[in-house]
Structure 1
Amino acid sequence: MLNQKHTLALSILMVTFALSACQPKVEKKEQEQKIEQKSSSEVEDTTLTLQGETEKIAVELPECNGNSCPEFSVERLHTNQFVVDSIIDQAILKNLEQILDIAHQSKTVQAEKEKTEQQQEQQEQQASSSVIAANAAKTPVQSMAEQLKPYVKTFTALQQELESLGASSKISVSVSPKILNSKEPLATVVLNTSSYLGGAHGASAQTYFNFDLKHQKQVNLDDLIESGQKAQLEKLAYETFKTWVSINKLANSLEEYEQVWKFKLSNNFYLGKQGLILQYAEYEIGPYVVGLPRLEIPYEQLKTVLKKEYLPAELLVDQPASAALPVAKK
């Protein structure tokens, strides 16, 4: 009987020891699961962040030696946002169209472009399912390289014509996008372009593209403005314009300056650290010597003009409610 009691007590002791030994493992496993869940929840949501880099597009130019060889450089943007890439690609082609339009004064260059367009149209009409499938399999870089061919031909034709006229100038075209701001409230890409196609001087431009990543769309200046506040924004921008003219001593008086260079509100903008930046093109509100004019309107002046989501957080602190006025007794 004593042996049975001893055996029972020993069994109970062993079970208790086993349970106590397993308990820390169970608790440790639960803790590890909680840590893993917490870590996964803290992973940054990249869908609302613009991430990417530029890719240089390979183009074929005629062999050339010497310092006067032409340069045709185009880069595209490859990001985690397809909508952004597509819009910037189309903007690059549009900018090239505008740049090379200068050369269309030449009949030779115009004829070359028309010939290329006719060839493209014939290829599209004769496209078979195999050709369509092959085009679909191309990477964005390869597709962009194909679309650049007409512009490269136009550029090359211009170089050849300038050489035939005895010109020794080095002509060039450069287009390159860059991510300026990657997060909310607006992701911003700037497209830098420059060119020299002969003449007294070259040309350059900076065009800004702003995106609402949450809704996958491009945002224009009007989208930022509170209802009924467009006139106030124009007023603030005009005051900034007057200050800019005065500081840079561009004329003896504003009236004299505006006889040639009238003010206009630019839709080329981005949200800077201190205020709304309005970017202008060459010759848009000033002579070539001023380059690419830029007007900045401080956020402090825009508290009632811009929608709240586009203002810095520090400007949105609730102000104390004003005391109620006493009701006049009759």
Structure 2
Amino acid sequence: MMPTSSPLSFSPARRALPLAGAALCLALLAACGTTPSETISLPTQQAGASQMKGDVEVKSISWKRSKPGCKGDDCPRIEVDSVAFPAIPRLTQLIDHVLAYMTGTDQRLRGPYETLEEYATWFWKTAQPRDATFFKASVKDTVGDIVAIELHTQQYFAGAAHGIPATQFLNWQRTAGRVLALDEAIIAGRHDQYTAALRKVYNKWLASNDDAKRDPATYARTFPFSESDNFALTRDGVVVKYDAYSIAPYSHGEPELTIPYDALVGVLKPEFIPKK
């Protein structure tokens, strides 16, 4: 259950720290080392029921905690709804690491934590009454060699009008054992064509946007088109995610656009276009 929001206005300065897409994830993966830690917050041995996503085994991770020693409805709390991969321990570790990183509303103010367990320790020391952080990780899709993961955090701070959302996709290459960056999926020299395909989908989305239709000129100045490298390879197309406030008001959430593969023939490398 989400905390009741305060009537105070929301400050954009407290938005979630924008992530630098897959390039950041590659850096984080390198930081994780070559073998999974035995002390990560999402160990496979503590995971729940197992299910198959395509040919990938996935286990659920779920826990809820309130600040130790605190009683009542105002206690700071953390909730986790995540996944673990028994056959891909490095991906399990990376998910834990990136979820923790996504809590940084200001990189200069981030605590000294690298995992969700370490984040919890820091959070109990700094949280105000009714502060809360929600973590969620799920399999977006499995297509060929790619396991697309969707990571989401929602933070609530005392005095804020509403929560601060952040979503990050990871495209895990099983054969290579690493995260795929956007420019690695695009044929060299074809990025402009990719941007054009994204803009075409954006224009279609904009045509159905009531806020944009109400005052097109003001909307274009306030929320101009921009490219996002936060992408997921799915069987339906390349899904592109945007931060809240980036191309739409907060009421639109985190907009999601899907570029169909038919529009990316000759743009995306053939191995990343699913066979029909």
Q: Is the 8 A contact 2:100 2:115 kept in 1?
A: no
1:283-302 correspondence to structure 2 within 5 Å? 283-302=245-264
Q: Corresponding residue for 1:123?
A: none
Aligned: 1:91 with 2:115? no
Matched, 1:53 2:13: no
Taking the aligned partners of 2:119 and 2:216, their CA distance within structure 1 comes to 44
Are residues 183 and 51 of structure 1, via their aligned partners in 2, closer, same or farther at CA, if it must alter by over 3 Å? farther
What corresponds to 1:267 in structure 2?
Answer: 229
Displacement of 1:148: 2.9
Contact 1:51 1:182 in 2 (8 A): no
Q: What is the deviation of 1:205?
A: 2.4
**How far apart are residue 69 of structure 1 and its match?**
2.9
Amino acid at match of 1:67: D
Structure (1/2) with the larger helix percentage = 1
Query: Aligned Cα RMSD in Å?
Result: 2.9
Question: What residue number does 2:243 align with?
Answer: 281
User: Is 1:55–1:78's contact at 8 Å kept on the other side of the alignment?
Assistant: yes
1:190 aligns with 2:150: yes
Distance 2:56 2:229 in 1: 22
Q: Which runs of 5+ in 1 are unaligned?
A: 1-45, 105-109, 121-142, 161-169, 315-330
Q: 3-state DSSP class of the match of 1:259?
A: helix
Pick aligned residue for 2:206 from 240, 245, 268: 245
Query: Which is bigger in relative contact order (C-alpha 8 A, separation at least 6)?
Result: 2
Partner of 1:127: none
Alignment of 1:7-26 (within 5 A): none
Q: CA deviation at 1:253?
A: 5.7
When Rg is computed on C-alpha atoms for both structures, the one with the higher figure is: 1
Write out per-residue CA displacement over residues 4-51 of structure 1, whole angstroms, 9 at most, x where no aligned residue: xxxxxxxxxxxxxxxxxxxxxxxxxxxxxxxxxxxxxxxxxx9x9432
- Aligned partner of 1:179 among 115, 119, 139: 139
Give 1:254 shift.
Answer: 4.6
State the Cα deviation string for residues 228-269 of structure 1 (Å, max 9, x = none): 110011111112222212211222465432211122211111
Deviation (angstroms), 1:78: 2.3
How far apart are the structure 1 equivalents of 2:223 and 2:210?
A: 14
Is 300-309 or 73-82 further displaced after alignment? 73-82
Amino acid of the structure 2 residue aligned with 1:214: T
Map of 2:118 onto structure 1: 147
CA contact (8 A) 2:66 2:75 kept: no
Query: What is the CA-CA distance between 1:176 and the residue it aligns to?
Result: 1.9
C-alpha distance in structure 2 between counterparts of 1:72 and 1:174, whole Å = 6
Q: Deviations over 1:258-289 (max 9, x none)?
A: 21112221111112333211111111211111
One of 124, 127, 151 as aligned partner of 1:158: 127
More strand by share: 2
- Residue 52 of structure 1 aligns with an amino acid whose one-letter code is V
Match of 2:89 in 1: 82
Q: Report SS of the residue matched to 1:175.
A: strand
Q: Residue type matched to 1:248 in 2?
A: N
| Alignment match of 1:73 (pick from 58, 74, 79) | 79
Q: What's the counterpart of residue 48 of structure 2?
A: none
Change (3 A) 1:144 1:239: closer
Residues 149 and 279 of structure 1, relative CA distance in 2, 3 Å threshold: closer
Alpha-carbon distance in 1 for matches of 2:241, 2:122? 27
Amino acid at match of 1:61: K
Q: In percent, how many aligned pairs have the same letter?
A: 23
Counterpart residue number, 1:62: 68
**Gapped runs of 5+ residues in structure 2?**
1-51
Q: Partner letter of residue 82 of structure 1?
A: P
* Aligned pairs for 1:199-218 within 5 A: 199-218=160-179
Normalising by structure 1, we get a TM-score of: 0.59
2:182 equivalent in structure 1: 221
Per-residue CA shift, 1:112-170, capped at 9, x if unaligned? x5xxx5xx9xxxxxxxxxxxxxxxxxxxxxx956523443234xx3315xxxxxxxxx3
Q: Does structure 1 residue 230 correspond to structure 2 residue 237? A: no
